[in-house]
Chain A
Amino acid sequence: MRTIEHFLKGLKNSLASWRLGIILFVFKFTSALFLVIPLNALLSESFEHNLYANHFLTRLDLTLIIDFIQSNIQGLKVYLIFFLLTLVAIVLLNIFLSGAIFRLLCDGFRRGYYPFTIGHFFRLSGRYLFRFVRLFLYSLLFYIVVIAFHVVFAELSKAIFGGSSASFRFVWTFVRFAITGFLAMLVVMTFDYAKIHVVSVRHIKVKMTIKEAMIFVGRNFGGAVVLYLFLILGLAVTVPIFWGLDRGFDLLGTSTIVLILTFLLQQTLSVVRSFYRLLIFSSQISFFDAHREVLPRFQPEEEKEEESTEST
């Protein structure tokens, strides 16, 4: 029941912070646009005057896709490098925005009001940038540890269970991936709480926030995990819903209006997913605030100082 309560509080908070959702969506939309433009040039060259391209109206013709890849392999290699470099830049930009998003969500949740100016948003982004970048770098270390664990665990499993039946090995492989997925989820979750900690506590070292986030997750393990799994499940539910709607639109035909409606449906899902990101953060903030007294060193930032910052 507590999980539902945090979920509902998070939902209320994220809807009230709708501007943040729009920022996330616009950021994602423009980033995707930036990434897709060079690829569109290649696609247009191959398909714009290609009679067989009309197959794409009814199905994904893999033969045409394969020929496209084969005939543009060099261009696609260059595009892949561009894509990866741009992705890194987008991740860094997202980290830049995250500080303000976390802070404004915390403020909204704790104080119940949602003042928003672009200037204030970017000031907050700047304020937390370096701490969030360091958190990101630390999180990469944690992910490396998780991957190393997965590899070592796989080798151990091979040595121990290599001779067992195929069905057992198949199930065990699933279990191994589930364990790795769970550990990766713990890292994501812990670093979300560390971010909440960073925007909630003044003058605290990044390492300390990670330590305290780990203590927090450790002491509230069951609740934190159940909440996160519940939130992930909610996001997963959108996939079959979208799939069903997309298929339904396919049945309507291949007219231009249907294609535009399909595009709008895709963007609606993208908006929903942006808000869902806020919902995940907000629900975790609600959970954090409900259990933060367990942290020995938790010292909230002074409200006066915060208010003066906001008024500027």
Chain B
Amino acid sequence: MSKLKRQLRPGLFLPGIILSFLAGSALSEEPLRVASYDIEVQLRAVEKSLSAGEHIRYTNHSDYLIDTLYFNLYPNAFRDANTLFLKGNERLRKSCERENNWASLDIRRLVLEDDEVDLSSRLMPLSEHDMTVVRLPLAQSLRPGESLDIHIEFEVKLPEVIDRLGYKDDNFIIAQWFPKLGVFEGARWKCYPYQQNTEPFADFADYQVEVTLPDDLVVAACGYLQSEKDNGHGTKTLTYHAPDVHDFAWAADPNYRVFADSLDDIEIKLHLKPDHTNKAARILSAAKEALSYCSSRFGYYPYSKLTIVDTEIAGNGMELPTMITIGVRYFPFCFNRFEEAVTVHEVVHQWFYGMLATNQAEEAWLDEGLTTYVTAQIMEQTFGEGNFVDFMGIQFGAYQMDRLTYLWESSTDPMYQPGWEFDTELSYFTSTYSKASVALKTLEGHLGSEVMDSVLAIYSREFRFGHPTTFDFISIAEKVSNQDLSWFFAPVLFGTEVCDYAVSEIGSEKSEENEGLVYDHTIKLRRLGEMILPVEVKIAFADGQEILKKWDGRERHHEIELQSSSPVEVVIIDPEGKNHLDINFNNNSRTSLPQADAVFKLQTRIFFCIESVLQWATAF
């Protein structure tokens, strides 16, 4: 499909509200190319190491003089037990010590321009014990608009997979492996030490990578394969070009089985381990669903290739530009859609990370939260109610999973804070993934689905190939919804309080008046949590009449007094289910009459379960 056709395609799916906002603004076709990376790397499969030469051409696109360069050397996060990363992960640190499993990135030589002076000894680590960020003071500042050539020779010692780098048997996953420049933004470098709960942040660049490795290895990589050369002596060299991306990674395994599919002009290649080939159709189908959904809403996918790799890394999957990894599990029975959910999540990241390259270290919620929220939508649209688990009548969706994990740890950390400030990995996960998804679902409830779709569509188009921030997102949301949303974002993003509203009492008194029998009702509502969100209250009467009241949700106790000719049947807080942040739906309604049948059914089922447990106990 031509670019023009792809450009037009979103218009076919999007509602008018988005089109009116987008009128006159074309999608950004390409990013600002701040750097280009030209890397030649050799994998020494037996020694488990990489030997590489890298040429970076960096251009100062800022309005400031740059007098220092900052590089990320991610493999050094696993150099010894004293690194920031391992200090933040006790279990991993002990495992590395026990197995004597370490990684490192050593710069052997660094020269600038055509100079012959090796500057590698002038590299200064940010801290004594952490070599994941090094800085190089420049003899002459780089002026705005000027470019600089940097030549680096480096060696990487690969560990048995730690986090996202290393080998497992004869499988290699080589991610975050080369010296990479930080992002110079707002007159300062944003180049963060690699720590638990932080993710890389980089500028868009042009990558040209030559990988030399044993010829029996099947390789999956970011970007496009340009050439493959047999070197003899059992090695081959593959050349990849990845334009307009902010990272480059690759994986290799002698046993990968490759499956190909396509969506319009996007080629999808899936690399699976032999044991997992039975999942190929499911994964490819999920990837296509996600690509199609996101392309139609958040702007077309600008690359002609998507590579999916089956590899074992920390977490279930990893997003990389034009490539995703998923940890496929060997489980022949189809009780859940784990692989589909991970695939969809990582494909959605091609937008909310790949093209909207947010600062994952400082505001991880912005890409992880949006991605988790959109993943749940795609899963529900594609697979229905039980889209995550559907087993023996028990149905559980991806969104319910998000809410469950949010409830698990709902108030430890705020959503918006740097990754390294989260209390635990679980707290990071629940805040940036689950709470963010639940919060966005709540925002959708308040704004309406159409407005929320527009917010995401406009945000993703406006900041395509950029580095948007949380405040850019808020600004778009306020602009599109035409309202001040600080009442929502302030407590949700920056607070740890929880939301819980309850109907505590329905009091009714009968009295005789001129018109006949009249009921005086007093309905008591309570705010049990600290988070304040406006809520609607529906009061339904026995004669079928319904009243909708609004409550700003501020008072601890709120009373509604009213008169009617019929008794109250039920009072419901948030009758349309807009407020997903409420941590207890069970106290959101109160009926006048008991739900005897429902409770009886639940109780008898539990009773029967206990009887079954006792059947086992009588075996002794």
A residues in contact (CB < 8 Å) with B: 24, 27-29, 31-33, 35-36, 39-40, 43-44, 46-57, 59-60, 62-64, 66-68, 70-71, 87, 90-91, 94-95, 98, 136, 139, 163, 165-167, 169-170, 188, 254-256, 259, 262-263, 266, 270, 273-274, 277
Contact = CB atoms under 8 A, between A and B. Distances in A.
20 contacts: A28-B618, A36-B607, A40-B606, A43-B599, A43-B602, A43-B606, A47-B586, A50-B589, A52-B586, A57-B597, A57-B598, A64-B586, A68-B586, A70-B407, A91-B620, A94-B617, A95-B620, A259-B601, A277-B615, A277-B619
A40 B607 CA distance: 9
A54 B620 CA distance: 39
A71 B275 contact: no
B117 interface: no
Given A36-B607, A70-B583, A71-B586, A47 B570 contact: no
Nearest to A139: B620
Contact of B594 (A28, A49, A68): A49
Contacts of B600: 256, 259, 263
Interface stretch (B314-322, B396-404, B421-429): B396-404
A52 B573 CA distance: 12
Given A60-B393, A163-B169, A67 B583 contact: yes
B394 interface: yes
Chain A interface SS verdict (over half): helix
B330 A57 contact: no
A85 B600 CA distance: 26
Interface string B583-620: 11111111110110111111110111011011101111
Given A39-B606, A49-B594, A166-B275, A28 B611 contact: yes
Chain B interface SS verdict (over half): helix
A46 B330 CA distance: 40
Most buried by A among B276, B585, B598, B603: B598
Contacts, number: 155
A170 B592 CA distance: 54
Most buried by A among B404, B589, B602: B602
Contacts of B614: 28, 31-32, 90
B572 interface: yes
Contacts of A54: 595, 597-598
A47 B595 contact: yes
A167 B275 contact: yes
B275 A165 contact: yes
Contacts of B234: none
Given A48-B599, A67-B586, 12 more contacts: A49-B595, A51-B570, A53-B598, A68-B586, A163-B169, A165-B274, A166-B276, A166-B330, A170-B331, A259-B597, A263-B604, A266-B604
B279 to A, nearest CB: 11
B273 interface: yes
Contact of B332 (A66, A94, A169, A170): A170
B478 to A, nearest CB: 31
Contacts of A98: 620
Contacts of A48: 594-595, 599
Given A56-B602, A263-B604, A36 B589 contact: no
A22 B614 CA distance: 15
A61 to B, nearest CB: 9
A167 B277 CA distance: 11
Given A51-B591, A170-B331, A44 B274 contact: no
Contacts of B591: 49-51
User: Nearest 6 A-B pairs (CB), nearest first?
Assistant: A166-B330, A51-B589, A166-B275, A266-B608, A53-B598, A32-B610
A63 B585 contact: yes
Nearest to B396: A62
A28 B396 CA distance: 33
A184 to B, nearest CB: 10
A35 B330 CA distance: 39
B583 A32 contact: no
Contacts of A44: 599
A36 B584 CA distance: 23
Contact of A167 (B330, B395, B404): B330
Contacts of A274: 615
A77 B293 CA distance: 44
B570 A270 contact: no
A266 B403 CA distance: 33
A31 B590 CA distance: 33
Nearest to A54: B598
A51 B396 contact: no
Nearest to A242: B608
